[in-house]
Structure 1
């Protein structure tokens, strides 16, 4: 965080204005309404190009991200008890239609994010557990006229958040599109996503749900007050649901529109050789996501969890599952390394993130603990070649290590419900196998992985239901982010010593760009390029 940063955004050396940038993605987010935008792509398109917030992320040329004031004059003023946050707006800001931005618009945006039809897929659960009245508020349509006290305005330039507990990382939350201003007069409910009022450098020109969005310059954008964004291309053509292989082949050929196209689908495995020979046309960067192997700490004793970690066949399961080395880095911590405070430390209990495992050592560990033939059970998806191959690699390694294995085949349609069932009899793989942080701080990671609340919902990595751990999570979460950073690292070490699930991989993002696309800088918090810096020519 840096509250001193002011606009405009730093100049990009050599950048040129004009032209059309095409951005393609194999996916298609379910909504571009700011209230419900929670997919990385929809959040990035909105927050970096169309909507501004009270705060936002400034990404430098080295890919380092810093939370800075955006439409607010600072990063907020916290009350002595930590339960009130006050933000003052910068003067003179307008929407794309010329209407002035007011504090009440931020209040209304927060309110509408509580509506299950608009914000139900968004980050609003954080507000439900933190804002005063958030646990019962249903939004401005179902609770029309209700006096919601969680967020209020004072005059046209002051936004005030009222909390039930301390939330030092609230400024991070306010970088979500869901917290960007929406005037009540512009409300169109389910159709607002077709043309949200813009405060950023671009606005929607055309919108075809699930297939295409064309952005044009927003002439009302206040560049001088914006420390994050630029307005280089004249037009940005966003194409959704494309075939990644086809798009990337066209881009590598640098023919026609391919030369000015940026595909963010992730490098197709069939093009790895091409990517090596045309390395300047592929950009790799960190992602906020990490994968794990959940281990039920209630059903598997520590000494057995330690043996599982020693035997784990990282290399075999990755090869069998078709996982490219270009898509991950081996994980040894529960949080990605770009999170402040997270540093690599000597691996313990065999949690090294790579290698073939040591079944002989693990077998000896089981024998010493009197746990030979301990049964491990898990679900896997049948009928999918790579999934079955990865399952067989894991099963073989565990059997060689002296475990009895019960692998239960289920369909793709069943797997999510099965692994999220807290009452299922299985003891491996139950809960969340991956997590993408919502902002770069431990309170957006560790409570989700290790709290009693998530365990009861069937969505933790260890089924850990420990009051002392819950209290520790609450204590660190209430600290200033700078003070909390080393505490989160200590907590991470504590969890690895107890083998509360196996960290597997830090995800890596990749983008393929034409030879006329420039300054593609990875944004570590979105796992995508910082679109606000890209230029063509």
Structure 2
């Protein structure tokens, strides 16, 4: 079963980290400027050095172990290429259409999409000058199965590839390896993936994640390969090893042939990218202050962290022209506990009372978040507002009180709200408690100061309502709705998995199965919309907000763009510097 917990950890590192940063200040000032699109900048040209300033370390530079959204976005544009990739574009529709990368096209499925074939381009090479082969792709995919050594990355392929009891290439018997070699077959430059069920959006998965990327067998040292880099993109890591806490210098890869690439994927403009990581507690403010000041090499810098509320007032004058405000891929939401809150009218009352606009204000205002109408992000294919949450975003206390009074339950109705403690989340909790209590609930706040998701995933817990966040692994609700609410891959005797509210419904899971067995993406999206509506009818979740990204760049950065193709991070496929 896919390791969805890792994806939540990725959201925790990017989205929840942003939550903790926002705790440093209050609401945005309404006089502060923002831009709904990328800032204008000078025409991008090749050459010069770009400085990339980051505030937290990655967990690995190994393509099969990468799961941070920021790392996937940046490495796909610089050091690693895959079968397909998403183009540099601000158009969300075009951004979700894969473009051929190391393959000659975006793949050919069989009739039911249970097999996909790709033919590799000629002239594609590793940085050591050797050819990238079909066998390299098969070997890369095989490493995902060795999840005792190649840990932490996405592993959807484990539930899709038509092979059983395969332990990965390091421990496989001859028979086990032979079975794997039938699941991924090579015929010259053509690779075919044989799945045990339809995978209609496989190209989207291959473009979004690097689990299917090639890996050279004689370069592999298993777990010891964590920070080694063998590049096949326009850049390579100077010295060949990524420094977890410092970063690396990316220089031109002389074995990269631009003729094998599509300019819509990566222009590779800077000669050098100084990728600097500073994981100190104060690094976010230091990075943002440096880029606002715009002196020396910081004029050529891209800031990875979003601007925290404590710096909103400084985004004035010239800094205003270098700031960009966008929606992020991360949605935050509430979850009723179906083991304790069994009365559907109580859950409906809970939802009706929620003041989403007040929550957004507590989160930091219009520069920090925007109201959500579904658990599915705006940028995901087939998105639609969930009709169950069409009420006023300020909350309807009187309607909630009427529902609670009509539920037959004794009032005030006691509930425990569990959340991860930060200053910002304390403010959000206070907003929620005010309306809930006014509607007839008696709300006990339960802020957790240590670990969080492992606590709320337990089947037996005192929590009646919880807060969580999630981002899609690729632009499909298949990576949102089933992993969060399908009880079958989530439930065990000790955990509800990512189904934190322990929701279980046979009719819902039937719709999920129809979506999973769809051979057409449009058909699949239709079923997923039905599944989301079912969740809304059952009040399986209550949408809160979509996190916003508020970025700033140096004045001599060119071609600056933030795109859905890179999960709304600055897109290094287009960015250059004046020189």
2:127 to 90, 96, 110: 96
The 2-side partners of 1:477 and 1:310 are apart by 32
The 2-side partners of 1:324 and 1:119 are apart by 40
Tell me whether 44-53 or 393-402 shows the greater mean CA deviation. Answer: 393-402
SS of 1:128's partner is helix
Aligned to 2:554: 514
Aligned to 1:434: 469
Tell me whether 202-211 or 484-493 shows the greater mean CA deviation. Answer: 484-493
Would the aligned equivalents of 2:43 and 2:558 in 1 still touch at CA under 8 Å? Answer: no
| Matched residues, number | 516
Aligned to 1:211: 246
1:88-127 superposed matches below 5 A: 88-124=119-155, 126-127=156-157
1:489 to 518, 529, 537: 529
2:285 to 245, 249, 260: 245
Distance 1:151 1:284, change over 3 A: farther
The 1-side partners of 2:126 and 2:368 are apart by 39
The 2-side partners of 1:214 and 1:317 are apart by 41
Distance 1:284 1:151, change over 3 A: farther
Aligned to 1:132: 162
Structure 1 position 173, deviation (Å): 2.0
Would the aligned equivalents of 1:201 and 1:218 in 2 still touch at CA under 8 Å? Answer: yes
Structure 1 position 42, deviation (Å): 1.8
The 2-side partners of 1:13 and 1:73 are apart by 33
1:124-523 superposed matches below 5 A: 124=155, 126-133=156-163, 136-143=165-172, 145=174, 146-147=176-177, 148-149=180-181, 151-175=183-207, 176-206=209-239, 207-227=242-262, 228-242=265-279, 243-277=283-317, 278-298=319-339, 299-320=341-362, 322-344=363-385, 347-349=387-389, 354-355=393-394, 357-371=395-409, 372-381=411-420, 384-410=422-448, 412-429=449-466, 433-453=468-488, 455-456=490-491, 457-458=495-496, 459-460=498-499, 462-479=501-518, 480-523=520-563
Structure 1 position 149, deviation (Å): 4.2
The 2-side partners of 1:240 and 1:44 are apart by 16
Specify every segment of 5 or more residues in structure 2 that has no aligned partner in the other structure, as ranges. 1-40
Distance 1:215 1:178, change over 3 A: same
Q: Which has the higher contact order (CA 8 A, sep 6+)?
A: 2
Structure 1 position 349, deviation (Å): 4.5
When normalised by structure 1's length, the TM-score is 0.90
Distance 1:317 1:154, change over 3 A: closer
Would the aligned equivalents of 1:21 and 1:237 in 2 still touch at CA under 8 Å? Answer: yes
The 2-side partners of 1:478 and 1:171 are apart by 16
Tell me whether 141-150 or 105-114 shows the greater mean CA deviation. Answer: 141-150
Distance 1:157 1:116, change over 3 A: same
Aligned to 1:52: 81
1:32-47 superposed matches below 5 A: 32-47=61-76
The 2-side partners of 1:424 and 1:455 are apart by 16
SS of 1:177's partner is coil
Specify every segment of 5 or more residues in structure 1 that has no aligned partner in the other structure, as ranges. 1-11
Would the aligned equivalents of 2:360 and 2:545 in 1 still touch at CA under 8 Å? Answer: no
Structure 1 position 466, deviation (Å): 1.7
SS of 2:53's partner is strand
Structure 1 position 319, deviation (Å): 4.2
Q: Deviations over 1:18-38 (max 9, x none)?
A: 111111111111111111000
Tell me whether 222-231 or 260-269 shows the greater mean CA deviation. Answer: 222-231
Tell me whether 232-241 or 152-161 shows the greater mean CA deviation. Answer: 152-161
The 1-side partners of 2:186 and 2:431 are apart by 61
Structure 1 position 74, deviation (Å): 1.8
Aligned to 1:5: none
SS of 1:394's partner is helix
The 2-side partners of 1:330 and 1:30 are apart by 31
Distance 1:461 1:333, change over 3 A: farther
The 1-side partners of 2:327 and 2:428 are apart by 24
The 1-side partners of 2:195 and 2:245 are apart by 37
Structure 1 position 531, deviation (Å): 0.9
The 2-side partners of 1:426 and 1:343 are apart by 30
Tell me whether 287-296 or 143-152 shows the greater mean CA deviation. Answer: 143-152
Structure 1 position 350, deviation (Å): 5.3
Tell me whether 193-202 or 508-517 shows the greater mean CA deviation. Answer: 193-202
SS of 1:165's partner is coil
2:104 to 67, 73, 76: 73
1:84 to 105, 112, 115: 115
Structure 1 position 193, deviation (Å): 4.3
Would the aligned equivalents of 1:107 and 1:151 in 2 still touch at CA under 8 Å? Answer: no
Distance 1:201 1:308, change over 3 A: same
Distance 1:247 1:414, change over 3 A: closer
Distance 1:48 1:77, change over 3 A: same
SS of 2:86's partner is strand
Aligned-residue RMSD, C-alpha = 2.4
The 2-side partners of 1:151 and 1:285 are apart by 41
Structure 1 position 211, deviation (Å): 1.5
